[in-house]
Amino acid sequence: MKYLFKYILLAAITVLLPSFVLAQDSEAEQVKKVMVKTTKNFYDILNDKNNNKKIRKQKVLNEVGPLLDFNLMARLALNKKTWKSISKSQRSKFSEIFIARIKKSYLDKLDIFSDIEVVIENSKRVKKNRIEVTALLKTKADTKKLVYKFYQTKKKEWLIYDISIVGVSFLQSYRSQFSAYLKNNSFDDLIKKLKDSSVPID
Amino acid sequence: MKFFVILLLFISILFANSNSLIEQKKASKIEKKDTLVEENFNEFDDFENEFSENDKLTEEVFDPLYSYNNWMTGVNDYLMINIVEPQAKVYRWVIPEGGRTSVLNAFKNLYFPVNFANNILQTKVENAGNETSRFLLNSTIGILGLFDVADSWFGIKPHVEDFGQTLGYYGAGSGFPVVLPFFGQRNVRDLFGTFADSYIDPIYYNDWRFYNTAEPYWHSVLLKGYEDFNEYSLTPEAYEKLTADSIDLYPFLRDAYEQYRNQLIKE
C-alpha cells in the first residue's frame, strides 16, 4: 500500500511536471504565433491598395491596437516620482494626450514599413509574467533587431508594453526626455508642449 | 440543568467564534484591500526596475558640453533636412539601389581589420574567425567587397566591433556626450575608440602603413562622410520620421545613442 502510493505520486510527477514545463513554453510559442499572424495581417493591410490611406491606418490600428496596453505605456512614460507628484486630472490628461500622440506618430510612419521587412524570429519567457518576441527588421542598408516586450495582465492576457529597436527602448526614450524636460519646466508646460508639438498628419 | 449549562456554553462559544469569524473576515477584507494596493505598486515597481538603470544615467548625466552639443545638434538637424535629404534624393535618382548597396558593402568590407582586432580583444575568437572568412570570401568572390556573398551564399553573419565597444566591454564608462559636426552624436569613449581604430582602419590615412585608401588625411574624412551619406540614402526620410516625435531633439538623440551603444556592448 505504501509502495503503491509512492508509485502513484511518482507517476503523477513524471506526467505532470513535463506538461507543466511545456505549458509554460507553449504560452511563449502562442504569443509568437499571434505576432506572426498580426505581422502578416499588417502587411496585407498595408499592401492592399484598394483602400485609401485613411482606411488603411484605421485597419492597422484595429489589427495592432488590441495587442498594446496603451494605458500602461502612458503610466510608464513617466517615472514613479513624477507620477506621484501630479494631480489626478493631470494624470488622466497626460495619459489621454500621450496615447493619442503615440498612436498618431505610429500611423504616420506606416510608409517606412513598405521598405522594411519584419520577420518574427523567436519568443522567450524572460520572467514569469514577461515574454519577449524578437523580430528582424530588414532594411535595405542592414538588419536590425526589434524586441516586442509582453507582460501578462491579471486577466491572463499577454499585451505589449514596450518595444525596443537596436536596444533603444521606446518607453525609455520618452522617460528620459520627459524627466530631462521636467527638470526646468512644470508638468503643465509638458502637457502644453505635447499638445503643441503633435506630430503633423499627412 | 447541567444540559442547559452545556447548551449555553456551546452557544456562547459558537457566537464567540462567529464573532471572531466576522472580525476575521473583516480583517482579511482589509488585508486583502491593502495587499491589492501593494500588489499594484509592486507591479509597477517591477516595471520601474526595468528602466531604473537607464533612468539613473539620464538623471545624473554628466554633460559639460551641453550648450555646444545642443547647438551642434540643431545645426546637424538643419543640415540633414535641408541639405543631406535633398542631395540624397538626387543621389538615389542617379545611382540605382543595387549600386548603393554595393558601395555600402565595399565600405563594410574595409572594416575587416577593425572588426577582427576588436573581436580578438574581446576574446570572441569564433566571431574573429567568421570575420576573416567574410573578408576573404567577399574580397574575392564578392569582387572587392561589392557583394556580401559571405552572408547571402554562405550564411556567415557579420560581427561588427569597434574599440569603443571593446572599452565598454571591459567596463569603461562613456565619459560625456560630444556631438560632432556632420557625424553627429558620440561620447568620449567612442571618440577615443575611433581614434584608436583609425590606426588600423584602412580608410584613415596612416603614413607608416602599407595599406591606405585615401592619401592625405582629409580625404579620409571625406570618404567617411560619403560612407554615411550613402548608407543614409538607403533608408529614405528615416531621420526625419524618427526625430519627428522627439520632445527635445538633443536629449532624445543623446539618450538613444547611449542606449544603442550599451546594447552593442552587451551583445
Which alpha helices (DSSP H) does chain B contain, by range?
2-59, 66-79, 85-94, 97-110, 112-121, 125-140, 149-152, 163-169, 188-197, 217-233, 238-243, 249-266
The residues, ordered by sequence, that sit 6+ positions from B240 with a Cβ below 8 Å of its Cβ are B80, B81, B85
Question: Residue A153 is placed in which grid cell?
Answer: 495582465
User: What pTM was computed for the model?
Assistant: 0.79
**A27-36, A73-82, B16-25, B129-138: which is most confident:** B129-138
pLDDT averaged over chain B? 83
Closest CA relative to residue B141, chosen from B133, B149, B129, B130: B149
Q: Is B49 on the interface with A (CB under 8 A)?
A: no
Q: Per CB distance under 8 Å, which residues of A are interface residues toward B?
A: 72, 75-76, 79-80, 101, 105, 108-109, 111-112, 115, 139-141, 151, 161, 166-169, 171-181, 193-194, 197, 199-200
Q: Is residue A190 part of a domain?
A: yes
Closest CA relative to residue B245, chosen from A158, A77, A65: A77
Look up residue B266 and give its amino acid. K
Q: What number is the ipTM of this complex? A: 0.77
Query: Helices B66-79 & B249-266, crossing angle to 10 degrees?
Result: 90
- Contact call for B47 and A161, based on CB within 8 A: yes
- Contact call for A112 and B47, based on CB within 8 A: no
Q: Is residue A146 part of a domain?
A: yes
- Contact call for B59 and A179, based on CB within 8 A: yes
Q: Is residue B201 a contact partner of residue B213, using CB atoms and an 8 Å limit?
A: no
User: What pLDDT, in 10s, does the model give residues A149-201?
Assistant: 999 888 888 899 999 998 899 999 898 888 888 888 888 988 888 887 654 44
Say what the pLDDT of residue A26 is: 82
Label residue B131 left, alpha or beta by phi (over 0 means left) and psi (-120 to 50 means alpha): alpha
The residues, ordered by sequence, that sit 6+ positions from B10 with a Cβ below 8 Å of its Cβ are none
Question: Residue A2 is placed in which grid cell?
Answer: 505504501
Q: How many of the other CB atoms lie within 10 Å of CB of B198?
A: 17
Question: Residue B102 is placed in which grid cell?
Answer: 554595393
Say what the pLDDT of residue B13 is: 47
- Contact call for B247 and A176, based on CB within 8 A: no
Q: How sure is the predictor about A24, in pLDDT bands with cuts at 50, 70 and 90? A: low
The residues, ordered by sequence, that sit 6+ positions from A172 with a Cβ below 8 Å of its Cβ are A162, A164, B51, B54, B55, B255, B259
| 3-state secondary structure (DSSP) of residue A124 | strand
- Structural domain count, chain A: 1
Q: Is residue A202 part of a domain?
A: no
- Distant-in-sequence contacts of B195-200, Cβ < 8 A, 24+ apart: B196/B163, B197/B114, B197/B118, B197/B162, B197/B163, B200/B113, B200/B114, B200/B117
User: What pLDDT, in 10s, does the model give residues B88-98?
Assistant: 999 999 999 99
List the A143-152 sheet strands across, edge first. Answer: A117-127, A130-138, A143-152, A158-165, A168-169
Question: How far is residue A92's CA from residue A39's CA, in Å, rounded to a whole number?
Answer: 31
How many percent of chain B have pLDDT more than 70?
A: 84
Q: In Å, how far is A41's CA from the nearest CA of chain B?
A: 23
In which residue ranges of chain B is pLDDT below 70? 1-43
Query: CATH number of the domain that A131 lies in?
Result: 3.10.450.710
Q: How many of the other CB atoms lie within 10 Å of CB of B247?
A: 17
Q: Is residue A201 part of a domain?
A: no
- Contact call for A177 and B266, based on CB within 8 A: no
| 3-state secondary structure (DSSP) of residue A5 | helix
Closest CA relative to residue B131, chosen from B163, B108, B165, B101: B108
Q: Is residue A99 part of a domain?
A: yes
**Which structural domain, as residue segments, surrounds residue A112?**
2-196
Closest CA relative to residue B231, chosen from B104, B69, B118, B57: B104
Label residue B171 left, alpha or beta by phi (over 0 means left) and psi (-120 to 50 means alpha): left
Computed on alpha carbons and rounded to an integer, the radius of gyration of chain A in Å comes to 22
Q: How many of the other CB atoms lie within 10 Å of CB of B109?
A: 23
Question: How far is residue B178's CA from residue B190's CA, in Å, rounded to a whole number?
Answer: 10
Nearest-by-Cβ selection for B101 from A140, A168, A181: A140
Look up residue B116 and give its amino acid. F
Question: Which residues, listed in sequence order, are joined to residue A138 by a DSSP beta bridge?
Answer: A117, A143
Q: Is residue A73 part of a domain?
A: yes
Q: Is B248 on the interface with A (CB under 8 A)?
A: yes
Q: Is residue A191 part of a domain?
A: yes
User: DSSP label at B80?
Assistant: I
- Contact call for B235 and A141, based on CB within 8 A: yes
